[in-house]
A and B are shown apart, each in its own frame.
Chain A
Amino acid sequence: MKIAISISGNKLESPFDPRFGRAAAFCLVDSETGEWTSHENPALSASGGAGVQAAQFIAKLGAQAVISGAYGPKAFDTLSPAEIEMYLAPIDETLTAADVLALFKTGKLSKTAAATHEGHHGAAH
């Protein structure tokens, strides 16, 4: 299974970035083979809709699951129909992507069935 982990850096040993839409980068790991690639997040500098853009980005990379620390409503609404499973890892700056992957493999991470926080944008019209 291909898993996208939000990171700040460019390798598996880079720190876990608990933000989804505004993560610096994503580490795409194959949980069976352990092979990984890193990808800068194009949504980092988006003026709005970062969650939507980041979700489309990891979907294009072929991710079937994602691990981050939080998911906003629009990120959730974009990842859900793409059937990308959303896992939550502890918001802990000392963790690396490799640590987070290890937690995932031992079944210590839970999936979220809803957005974890309110949107950042103005009121809906």
Chain B
Amino acid sequence: MRIVVASGKGGTGKTTVATSLALTAGDSVRFMDCDVEAPNAALFLNPKLDTRKEVGIQLPVVDEALCTHCGKCAEVCEFHAIAVIGKKILVFPELCHGCGSCTLVCPEKAISERLDVMGVLESGMTPSGMDFAQGVMNVGEPMAVPIIRELKKWTPAHPFEIEIRDAPPGASCPVVETMRNADFILLVTEPTPFGLHDLKQVVGITHELGIPSGVIINRDGIGNNAVEAYCDEAGLPILLRIPMERRFAEAIASGRTLVDTALEYRAAFETLLQVITARVAK
């Protein structure tokens, strides 16, 4: 079962929920931090990241001796990253999305590919025995999706029953890529106009992808009732409420998880996992 924790708005408590859910879920859990621009679940789960792999996209490299300048590569490229002009062929790496179409269509097999490194995948084991991986995008890179795509291919040695993906904030391509092929989306929001506005955007993505979802209201007690009203109207179940409490904020600020700070949340997260499992099985 693959569960994605997403939110739209940043700072609503995705990592707080994802890490506590992972610690509750038992032995056969793997955790992926897909917020590759600023991964920070490792601060709470403390994995020993002993495996590193460079990742990125495959850029075309043209063998000028074989190229006949037929222009098929330039025609197929949706991003105009490869151009044929007269008897010259040009590659613009900053436009390339690494789709490989040019390599496929070249009738002369004149195009090979080289890895353009955009970041690294780091993986290892947490002290509790959980497989953990994160993507770390290089500073200045414009595209996160290729790194998330590679991260999702990560296969640790141990079999898993539950995979938890901590999504990036926002509602654009990296979030969509994180959600793709998931079984359930846990939407963490806060009961404010800002939280609601961005929640609606990610709900739109879950509908588009056809993946069931449920809501967690974090910092419950602040703001207004508009999130509840929206969930009610949209038929979105509210699966958990985490009240605004100083002790939670203090724990998170010092790198402690919610379930380690407030033991009563172990039971709450166990129930949450059962509800999700039942909804996925439906």
Contact = CB atoms under 8 A, between A and B. Distances in A.
A, B in one complex:
yes
Interface of A: 43, 46-50, 52-53, 55-56, 59, 74, 77-79, 81-83, 119, 121-125
Interface string B106-144: 000000000010100000000000000000001011110
Given A82-B88, A125-B141, A48 B118 contact: no
B83 A78 contact: yes
B92 A81 contact: no
B95 A74 contact: yes
Interface residues of B, number: 23
Contacts of A46: 80
Given A47-B79, A74-B92, A121-B95, 14 more contacts: A49-B92, A52-B92, A78-B85, A78-B90, A79-B85, A81-B85, A81-B86, A81-B90, A82-B88, A122-B142, A124-B93, A125-B93, A125-B138, A125-B140
Contacts of A121: 94-95, 142
24 contacts: A48-B79, A49-B81, A52-B83, A53-B80, A56-B74, A56-B83, A74-B92, A77-B90, A78-B83, A79-B85, A81-B85, A81-B86, A81-B90, A82-B85, A82-B86, A82-B88, A83-B86, A119-B94, A121-B142, A124-B94, A125-B94, A125-B138, A125-B140, A125-B142
Contacts of B141: 123, 125
Contacts of A56: 74, 83-85
Given A55-B83, A78-B83, A125 B95 contact: no
Contacts of A79: 85
A119 B81 CA distance: 14
B85 A123 contact: no
Contact of A49 (B56, B80, B86, B88): B80
B173 to A, nearest CB: 13
Interface in B53-112: 56, 74, 78-81, 83-86, 88, 90, 92-95
Contacts of B143: 125
Nearest to A74: B92
Interface in B121-172: 138, 140-143
B85 A55 contact: yes
A125 B138 CA distance: 9
A123 B92 contact: no
Q: Which 6 interchain pairs have the tightest Cβ spacing?
A: A49-B80, A122-B142, A81-B88, A82-B85, A52-B80, A124-B94
Contacts of A125: 56, 93-94, 116, 118, 138, 140-143
Contacts of A119: 94
Nearest to A53: B80
A83 B78 CA distance: 25
